[in-house]
Amino acid sequence: VSYEDNHDPVYVLTVKGISGGHSGSEISKEKGHAIQFSIRLLHLLIKNKVDVRIVELNGGLKDNAIPRECVTMFASETSVEEIEKVLDKGFNNLKEQYQYTEPQLTIELEKTNAPKALSKEDTKDIVSTVYLCPHGFIAKSIEMNGLTLISLNNGVIKVSEGNAEIRYSIRSPLEGVRD
């Protein structure tokens, strides 16, 4: 990824209040996921023609843990009122979908500044890649009730200083699935 000069306002979007947990035991429980929520919100902004250019994106601590928080810094020439309108819609959708498993879910939007940001194309590529990748609970055992056979967890994402790191944990007791 490469950065370009930026002269537009910059915002920090924080998704937090998620319960998190170990991806091996918690991934099948329909819990929230801070990275996935952040990507959903960024995707919604882009889909609604909001100018979004990532400055930094940082979520998760370990690839085998469900992230509790994700912070996205992005530049935009779109008005803050339009950004807030789209984010409110996305946040309300998430709150409705996860009202029972993530009642503490919140998002915050703060204004800041940054001299550089990714291009629209690089931003869209990162958001689309994570948005389209399989994630979460994939299959359960027919033999043993409650045993997760296949799951994928996007445990860490870091975009900064010209690097993009997206780490997944693939879990399965079946060796052939992990290969």
pLDDT tens for 51-63 read: 999 999 999 999 8
Ranges of residues in the chain whose predicted pLDDT is under 50: none
Report phi then psi at 30, rounded to 5.
Answer: 60, 35
* pLDDT given at position 21: 82
- Taking the C-alpha atoms of residue 146 and residue 148, their distance in angstroms, rounded to an integer, is 6
This prediction has a pTM of 0.92
The rounded distance, in Å, linking the Cα atoms of 103 and 96 is 10
